[in-house]
Amino acid sequence: MAKNDLMTRNLMLDSLRQYAKNRISFNLLREHDAKNEIPLDILKEMYDHDILGVHLLLIPEEYGGLGGQTTEIYRICEQLARIDLGIATGVFATFLGSDPLNVGGTPEQKAKWFTKIAQENKLVAYGATEADAGSDLVSLRTRAEHVVQNGRVVGYKITGSKMWISNGGVADIYTVLALAPGGPSWFIVERGTPGFTQDVHEDKHGIRLSNTAGLAFDEVYVPAENLIGLKEGQGFLQAQAVFGYTRLMVAAFGLGGGEEAVETALEYAGQRIQAGGPLSQKQGFMLKLITPHYIRFEAARAYIDWTAKQLEVNNHGLATEGAIAKLYATESGNKAAEDAIQAMGGFGYTKEFAVEKIKRDVKITCIYEGTSEVLEMTIFRGRWQEHLKSRGQYYINQAAEFDALHAQNPQVGADSVALGLRALARVLEDCRANKLTRHQYVTFMLGDLISEMEVAAVFVRQCANKIVTEGSRFDLATLCTMARINARQSAFKTASEGLRLVLGTCPAIDTAQVSQAVNLVAIEDKMRGLIDDMDTVSAKLRDIFKK
Amino acid sequence: MHIIVCIKQVPDSTQVKVDPKTGTLIRAGVPSILNPYDHFALEKALEIKAKTGAKVTVLSMGPQQAVAVLRLALALGADEGVLLSSRAFAGSDTWATAYALATAVKHIGSFDLVLCGQMAIDGDTAQTGPEMAYHLHIPQITFCESIDANGNTVVVKKLIEGGHQILQADLPVLVTMTMPHDYVAKYPSFMAAHKAQDKIIRTWTETDIGADPHKLGLEGSPTRVDRIFPPPTRAKGEVYSGSAVELANKFVEILKKERVIK
Ligand SMILES: Cc1cc2nc3c(=O)[nH]c(=O)nc-3n(C[C@H](O)[C@H](O)[C@H](O)COP(=O)(O)OP(=O)(O)OC[C@H]3O[C@@H](n4cnc5c(N)ncnc54)[C@H](O)[C@@H]3O)c2cc1C
Ligand SMILES: Cc1cc2nc3c(=O)[nH]c(=O)nc-3n(C[C@H](O)[C@H](O)[C@H](O)COP(=O)(O)OP(=O)(O)OC[C@H]3O[C@@H](n4cnc5c(N)ncnc54)[C@H](O)[C@@H]3O)c2cc1C
């Protein structure tokens, strides 16, 4: 059967939207949120083959699934997040829990477990985190000991505990990371296995509709065939192989959550009359609280989609790109939700409106699947290697591509991207020459600047190539204006932050020389017309979201 | 039995605005949907299919992107789709549209029942169905809320002022469907959406169906649109709730404030 085409994706999204519209009211969400309850019936319905069957997306076709491509999975994730991030997490945990199997499982293991998940609509959980092993999984303590019969390893006894596992209290199938004699490995453990217990549901700040629970293993016996890949010591490799992909999905969560919050605020602003007119007509209100977020969302969308398309070709890997997508989109979504409350004033702060809940919910996207700081380190490491390998030419070479794009299409901000990339290359080189990356803070900030510039670059390139990212509600002209604004701001941030870092850690360096090298003046010069461009975007927003 | 359902792609009317300057519809950025009446008619056809094993063909005229509503219909269970699409059809009024659709129905060949929606939520004329019946030389029953069919006859519930009629007709017949107020449209599961990719959608032009080009498009359209304008917006009413006494007091207060009474 053919891969799903765009029309099929849109059909699936429509079905999901319509299901949510008919079945998941704001009141239902609010009540469950207040009572800290899981809408398990909703999850079951979403898995029901005749209603939606969302989980089939992650199951390869040969095992009765849909073999969903990265693009449709991220778009479904975005839509799920717009509905509720707790429900989204419940669905995502099944995706995540199945991933070690997907990358590491033998054909027999895949056939057995995927068929079971597909046909019996099983909820899956992914158990990696422990009390002392969060970002630092190497400190893993849960152990899997050999059970030997007649000189053969026939099974494992797992002992230890896991913390904060999504679907932990409600899943049927668990993929659990444990330290086997041959190293960290994934095991499949079924609910009901003797010695395996689940803790109570956590009382959390947000995503309260998602079950989160600890797991305890007391000499839990699993047969050797439940070791994923039938080979010990592959656990970290299997986990890392899908980071590019799983982080892209959480990026879509950040995007969806943020969009939902700001859209609620914008609709409100169209009706809220203050000082003689609707708030959405007030320039400062829009430019401070609404418009910048839409620009970042479209940049994030372009980047996520571009990465998804790359992943469809490469299958796995792209860990740096996945990290960039997640860092950028989730931090943008989180800030947007915060401003959505501000934009709605007192109403935003009450539980009458969704934004207050979204703000609590979306924060998790900056924490799970790699905290923002861990991602900054990952991004830094990935690109630092490139910088060193290319003798500082990595971003300079890319800048040349944007010079050429600017010559073809001067309207999309390719000139600013070129300046920003050169500034970035310069800052990286100053950091190398002066050994500034011994400061952990510098590595974090470099990770952030790298993600800022790479997202800006992809957004501009997509616009220059006249690509309107699927799922975007804007026309190409508006997207070009957005890309141009975004490129200028990212270049400015890169140059000025870069200067701050270099001068802040290396007092001996000559200020005028560094400042000239990042060419801040040229970047500042690109700011002409910036506010007009932002007003244009505001006008478009009013148009599109007018009730 | 072969049922042909005519389905139209329409802009989601809750989101369409009229440009006050040009008097045209602003469709940019407005998502398209399957006309809800047609969605209902399709579901009724699929119910008949489930009972009798009838074949269901969906037919739409529109630009290339209208293929999306055919795909939706196939995902919901229709067997085949036909899209009428070419420049020649553009600008057709209801008369020309009905001629084109009827010609396509004849070209499809054998059919027993043609189902249409009562009206399209964008054009709102409710003329296409009846005009098709004329072109096809078959009887019609309009404004039906339910329908049941076997190989030879249909039984429908037709709404009329203050009540309804139960009517029976021999096949072939054309029926236009209205929908109950509480109608919630069905959408396909992910798997159904996926499988619909393998079903056949044919795209036909006026030459394929042997239509007379003079009867299509602007040339074939006797009606001309003078202008389109949004109805004047009225100030929002206010809703009060409370006991009868509270409400009566509230009204007196308002009437006094508005200086209607003293
Ligand atoms: C609601 C929820 C659901 C979850 N679901 C799952 C799940 O399904 N499966 C699963 O396995 N896990 C799950 N987790 C765990 C989640 O992935 C971890 O919380 C996350 O990886 C961070 O680990 P930690 O909480 O131990 O924080 P820590 O690693 O202790 O981090 C605390 C802070 O220190 C920073 N930090 C960490 N390391 C460094 C360093 N080297 N240098 C400088 N700063 C550092 C972090 O960025 C963070 O700001 C879930 C967590 C929550 C809250
Ligand atoms: C004078 C005039 C000029 C027009 N010019 C244009 C133009 O230039 N461009 C343009 O896009 N539109 C134009 N239209 C609109 C177009 O002709 C109508 O939308 C179309 O004829 C259907 O009429 P309606 O929307 O009122 O549908 P109704 O008659 O209200 O629809 C009843 C039912 O007929 C069926 N049906 C209607 N249309 C279709 C279809 N296309 N495919 C399949 N089934 C269908 C459906 O089952 C529907 O529920 C014009 C209309 C008029 C009156």
- Inside any domain, residue B240: no
* Residue-wise pLDDT tens digits, B118-136: 999 988 889 999 999 999 9
First and final CA of chain B: distance in angstroms? 72
Asked if residue A350 is part of any domain, the answer here is yes
Tell me the CA–centroid distance for residue A366 and ligand 1, in Å: 9
Question: Both A200 and A248 in a single domain?
Answer: no
Whether B91 is in a domain gets the answer: yes
> What does the alpha-carbon distance between residue A271 and residue A310 come to, in Å, rounded to a whole number?
42
Ligand 2 within 6 A of B129 CB? yes
Q: Can you tell me the mean pLDDT for A445-456?
A: 98
- The confidence score (pLDDT) of residue A242 equals 82
A116 and A140 in a single domain? The answer is: no
**DSSP secondary structure, B179-233, as one string:** --TT-------HHHHHHGGGS-EEEE-HHHHT--GGGSTTTT---------PPPP
Looking at residue A43, which CATH number applies to its domain?
A: 1.10.540.10
Minimal Cβ distance to B189: which of A22, A51, A544: A51
What pLDDT is recorded for position B259? 85
Q: What is the pLDDT of residues A342-392, one digit of tens each?
A: 999 999 999 999 999 999 999 999 999 999 999 999 999 999 999 999 999
Q: Which of A204, A233, A262 is the last residue of a domain?
A: A233
Residue B36 scores a pLDDT above 50: yes
The average pLDDT across B10-15 equals 81
Q: What is the mean pLDDT of residues A399-428?
A: 97
Residue A541 is assigned to a structural domain of this protein: no
Is A371 within a domain?
no
Chain B residues touching chain A at CB-CB below 8 Å: 17, 28-29, 67-68, 71-72, 75, 184-185, 187-191, 193-198
Distance A207 CA to ligand 1 centre (A): 16
Say if residue A1's pLDDT is above 50. Answer: no
Q: Is residue A467 part of a domain?
A: yes
Look at residue A394 in the predicted model and tell me its pLDDT.
98
Would the CB of B93 count as within 6 Å of ligand 2?
Answer: yes
pLDDT of residue A486: 98
Number of domain units in chain B? 1
Average pLDDT over residues B28-45: 92
pLDDT of A156 reads 98
Alpha carbon of A57: minimum distance to chain B alpha carbons (Å): 8
Q: What one-character-per-residue DSSP string does A104-153 give?
A: H--HHHHHHHHHHHHHHT--EEEE--BTTBSS-GGG---EEEEEEETTEE
Q: How confident is the model at residue A4 (pLDDT cuts 50, 70, 90)?
A: confident
- Lowest mean pLDDT of A275-279, B111-115, B165-169, name the range: A275-279
Is B29 a residue whose pLDDT tops 70?
no
Average confidence (pLDDT) over A142-160 = 97
What is the spatial distance between Cα A260 and Cα B67, in angstroms, rounded to a whole number? 29
Tell me the two tokens of residue A329.
């989109």
Give A221-258 pLDDT, tens digit per residue. Answer: 999 999 999 999 999 999 888 888 899 999 999 999 99
Range of the domain at A326: 242-366
> Nearest 5°: phi and psi at A96?
-65, -45
Q: Flag whether residue A12 sits within 8 Å of chain B, measured between CB atoms.
A: yes
Q: What's the CATH code of the domain at A186?
A: 2.40.110.10
Q: What local confidence, expressed as pLDDT, does residue B28 receive?
A: 66
Domain co-membership, A432 together with A477: yes
Ligand 2 pocket test target in B60, B87, B94 with most atoms within 8 Å of CB? B94
In this complex, is the C-beta atom of A57 within 8 Å of any C-beta atom belonging to chain B? Answer: yes
Q: Is B260 exposed, middle or buried (0-12, 13-18, 19+ CB in 10 A)?
A: exposed
Question: How many structural domains compose chain A?
Answer: 4
Nearest CA to ligand 2 atom 7: B91
- Separation between Cα atoms, residue B124 and residue B217, nearest integer Å: 19
Residue of B nearest to A17 (CA): B187
Quote the pLDDT of residue B258: 85
User: How many C-beta neighbours within 10 Å does residue B210 have?
Assistant: 11
Residue A365 to residue B124: CA distance in whole angstroms: 46
Q: Give the pLDDT band of residue B150 (cuts 50, 70, 90).
A: confident
The answer as to whether B50 is a domain residue is yes
Nearest residue (CA) to ligand 2, atom 41: B61
Q: With bands split at pLDDT 50, 70 and 90, how would you rate the model's confidence at A508?
A: confident
Tokens of A469: 């990212």
Asked whether the beta carbons of residue A1 and residue B188 sit closer than 8 angstroms, the reply is no
Cα(A33) to ligand 1 centroid in Å equals 23
B126 lines ligand 2 (CB under 6 A): yes
Residue A539 lies in a domain: no
Average pLDDT over residues B186-201: 96
**Given the residues A78, A259, A369, A452, the one annotated as active site:** A369
Asked whether residue B115 carries a pLDDT value surpassing 80, the answer given is: yes
Q: Is A369 a catalytic residue?
A: yes
pLDDT tens readout for residues A272-313: 999 899 999 999 999 999 999 999 999 999 999 999 999 998
**Same domain membership, residue A478 and residue A396:** yes
Residue B114's domain is classified under what CATH number?
3.40.50.620
Indicate which CATH number applies to the domain containing A520. 1.20.140
Helix (H) or strand (E) holding A547: none
Q: Which of A77, A104, A123 is the last residue of a domain?
A: A123
Tell me which residue range forms the domain holding B156: 2-215
Task: Work out the average pLDDT over B87-112.
Answer: 96
Mean pLDDT for chain A overall: 96
> What ligand is nearest to the CA atom of residue A139?
1
Q: Is residue B25 part of a domain?
A: yes
The residue whose CA has the least distance to atom 17 of ligand 1 is: A368
* Stretch B40-57: mean pLDDT: 97
Q: Assess A66–B contact: CB distance below 8 Å, yes or no.
A: yes
Residue B37: CB within 6 Å of ligand 2? yes
How many angstroms away from the CA of B72 is the closest CA of chain A? Answer: 7
Assess whether A153 and A216 both reside in one domain. Answer: yes
pLDDT of residue B241: 87
Mean pLDDT, chain B, as a whole number?
92
State the pLDDT at residue B22.
Answer: 64
